[in-house]
Amino acid sequence: MPKKSMRDALREALHEEMERDDSIIVLGEDVITHGGPYAVTRGIDEKFPGRIRQTPISEAGIVGTALGAALCGMRPVAEVMYVDFATCAMDEVVNQMAKVRYMFGGQTDVPVVLRLPSGSARLLAAQHSQCLEAWFLHVPGLQVVVPSTAYDAKGLLKTALRGKDPVLFMEYKRLYTNECEVPDEDYAIPFGQADVKREGRDVTIVATGPMVPKALEAADLLSPEGIEVEVVDTRTLVPFDKATVFASVGKTNRAIVTDEEVKRGGTSAEIASLIAEECFDALDAPVKRVAAAEVPMPFSPELEKLVVPKTEHLVAAARELVG
Amino acid sequence: MATRTLLEAIREALHLELGADERVILLGEDIGREGGVFRVTEGLQACYGRARVMDAPIAEAGIVGMAVGMAIAGLRPVPEIQFMGFLYPAFDQIISHVARMRNRSRGRFTCPLVVRVPYGGGIHPPEHHSESTEAMLVHTPGLQVVVPATPYDAKGLLISAIRSPDPVIFLEPKRIYRAVRQDIPEECYTVPIGEARLVREGTDVTVIAWGSMMHTVLQAAESLDASGISPEILDLRTLSPMDVPAIIASVEKTGRAVVVHEAARTAGLGAEIVAQINEKALLSLEAPVERVSGFDTVFPLPQLEKYYLPTPEMIEAAVHRVLAF
């Protein structure tokens, strides 16, 4: 099977789906000139002329236009350059996109996919490095997807493009160049199915997006010490696959929940709470959260390193839980 | 002492601070001539003039953005956003500017403003008018988030907020604006930001809530008393910074906890509180912590509202579940 980067896998999913379905259109800032800030939409203009629009710098306009197009029967894929700029489109996302099916009694589908490059990369500072999943988890009506591998990215984007309701598709910038085997042919990964990326018996790490490769690294480091880590990749946060997570914690009796978001009020709080509520009797130790420090992302490279959660934090947390 | 509703207590705090500090400026939609959508600012423009109590166009991003400029230039603006659902158009201002000004300018500028936001459901409005999205704000580093539940706290916390060197989102429980009365001092006083209030001591279970839900909790407590159950009740008052030590101290004593909020359950603030309790007090827990919350649906239109908001009966049932575990 060929190896592909997440960026290429996403592009492949877009091309294949646009070929299959004429109603799919793409819009966003610089999506033609540069193929977007991370070149995911490169080549679409040549292959599907007229079906990709380069917009002014106005996120409220981009999301509002995408929503209108969806209500009129199109399937827009809107790129917001950085998830941070979704703050400029919050009214459209929360008050309109998430609520429109409910407010109009289900008269129309709302098949919008918002692609949102997320997370720290290198020195992008406070307004280009955020992880905002927790906000959107808290907004009923939105589906939230966070792929961690190229394979998952392609399969999940296909499902997003075939659905009837809005999807916030979080693309972690650090993962764009990560490669893995990705089939050339068509496949889709259903929402609501977590993936056990590694089996283990001693401690479960429930990881999201960029923390999945770090959890796998931690597992490699801990195995020689006799600590076998099970790594569960959530893949989609809404809908959330409780069954896989609870089954794993039921087996290992210890859990670490990790994501790159600000810890206070982040997704890890919700998942840790669910585990504490539903697996109370199975737990041999408190659920640990490993997430980002509670500060805006600093510009200084040394400070950035201190804020973003690392493999060694997971290793330390696992040792504490097992010890 | 004088008897005040929560709404009157807020107005009194604004009145006193406008009088005491000429840097304090109010701005918002209809707050001047009309006295605000809930009449919180009634009479203040007549008293302090249009330059200090300013009517703004319907543009939340503009209102908060203007307040940011005023704040870094040395004023103490207190913008009002009519309903919490209208905070979204101003999210970029709040998240990217209000919350970060001190950090981005390496402490050269602070952003001392207070965004007053009537929040929550229960008044039978149309869509977008019943939001309770405090969890989003608590997740944002750099913001203080305050929610009073009594007239005394509303006045004292608002005065603290206006005097704070850093931004405060001041959430006002609009459902109980006029429903709660209390004798409070007429003069200036402050209630410190960051301290929970132990509403009543108890031995069997800790019930944690804030804002308008406090009163639903107190109703539940009456029935629980009648059945011989003694709940300890904690009003968080400030959600960020959160008084985690007060929560942990109480849970260590009672061994059981129920968290109540009206926001949607998933990724609501209850999740953070449950996670904190489990991290810091797991060995004291006799039962899993229960969350009583709104549902993971869009806040419904008026006829379904009563099925969405937590009721005293739902809180009592949760208390019975943690006691029976």
The answer to whether the CB of B175 falls within 8 A of the CB of B149 is: no
Which of A136, A273, A295 should be substituted to probe chain B, the one whose Cβ sees the most B Cβ atoms within 10 Å?
A: A273
Residues 95-134 of chain B with CB under 8 A from chain A are: 95-96, 99-100, 103-104, 127-128, 133
pLDDT for the residue numbered A323: 84
Q: What are phi and psi of B168, to 5 degrees?
A: -130, 135
Count of Cβ atoms closer than 10 Å to residue A272 Cβ: 26
A285 interaction partners in chain B (CB closer than 8 Å): 282
State pLDDT tens for residues A101-115. 998 999 999 999 999
The answer to whether the CB of B207 falls within 8 A of the CB of B221 is: yes
In the block, tokens 């941070």 appear at: A84
B268 interaction partners in chain A (CB closer than 8 Å): 138
| Residue in chain A nearest B127 by alpha carbon | A103
Taking 50 as the pLDDT cut, the residues of chain B under it are none
Known catalytic residue: A128? yes
pLDDT for the residue numbered A21: 98
Give the pLDDT mean for A297-314: 94
Give the pLDDT mean for A240-249: 98
Cis amide leading into A301 (omega within 30): no
State pLDDT tens for residues B238-249. 999 999 999 999
d(CA A321, CA A256): 9
Catalytic-labelled residue, pool B15, B124, B129, B215: B129
pLDDT for the residue numbered A88: 96
pTM of the predicted protein model: 0.95
pLDDT for the residue numbered B301: 87
Give the pLDDT mean for A163-169: 98
As beta bridge partners, residue B145 has: B169, B240
Q: How far is B100 from chain A (nearest CA, A)?
A: 7
The answer to whether the CB of B323 falls within 8 A of the CB of B204 is: yes
The answer to whether the CB of A146 falls within 8 A of the CB of A178 is: no
d(CA A174, CA A160): 22
The shortest CB-CB distance from B103 to any of A102, A126, A287 is to A126
pLDDT for the residue numbered B126: 84
One-letter identity of residue A188: A
The answer to whether the CB of A147 falls within 8 A of the CB of A2 is: no
Q: How far is A288 from chain B (nearest CA, A)?
A: 7
Give the pLDDT mean for A175-181: 97
State pLDDT tens for residues B246-265. 999 999 999 999 999 999 99
Task: Assess whether pLDDT exceeds 90 at residue A204.
Answer: yes
Starting at the edge strand found earlier in the chain, the sheet holding A255-262 runs A195-198, A229-233, A203-207, A255-262, A288-292
Give the pLDDT mean for A26-52: 96
Is the minimum CB–CB distance between B138 and chain A shorter than 8 Å?
Answer: yes
State pLDDT tens for residues A59-80. 999 999 999 999 999 999 999 9
pLDDT for the residue numbered B128: 85
Torsion B308-B313-B315-B321 (CA) sign: negative
d(CA A282, CA A254): 8
Predicted confidence band of residue A94 (pLDDT cuts 50, 70, 90): very high
| Average per-residue pLDDT for chain A | 96
State pLDDT tens for residues B115-159. 999 999 988 888 889 999 999 999 999 999 999 999 999 999 999
Radius of gyration of chain B from its Cα atoms, rounded to whole angstroms: 19
Give the pLDDT mean for A155-178: 98
Contact B141 A289 (CB under 8 A): no
CA atoms within 13 A on the CB side of A98: 27
**ipTM greater than 0.90:** yes
d(CA A212, CA A7): 17
pLDDT for the residue numbered A122: 79
State pLDDT tens for residues A246-270. 999 999 999 999 999 999 999 999 9
pLDDT for the residue numbered A310: 97
pLDDT for the residue numbered A197: 98
What is the SS3 string spanning chain B? CEEEEHHHHHHHHHHHHHHHCCCEEEEECCCCCCCCCCCCCCCHHHHHCCCCEEECCCCHHHHHHHHHHHHHCCCEEEEECCCHHHHHHHHHHHHHHHCCHHHHCCCCCCCCCEEEEEECCCCCCCCCCCCCCHHHHHCCCCCEEECCCCHHHHHHHHHHHHHCCCCEEEEEEHHHCCCCEEEECCCCCCCCCCCCEEEECCCCEEEEECCCHHHHHHHHHHHHHHCCCCEEEEECCEEECCCHHHHHHHHHHHCCEEEEEEEECCCCHHHHHHHHHHHHHHHHCCCCCEEEEECCCCCCCHHHHHHHCCCHHHHHHHHHHHHHC
d(CA A246, CA A251): 9
Is the minimum CB–CB distance between B286 and chain A shorter than 8 Å?
Answer: no
Task: Assess whether pLDDT exceeds 90 at residue A230.
Answer: yes
Contact B298 A134 (CB under 8 A): no
pLDDT for the residue numbered A11: 97
Count of Cβ atoms closer than 10 Å to residue B107 Cβ: 9
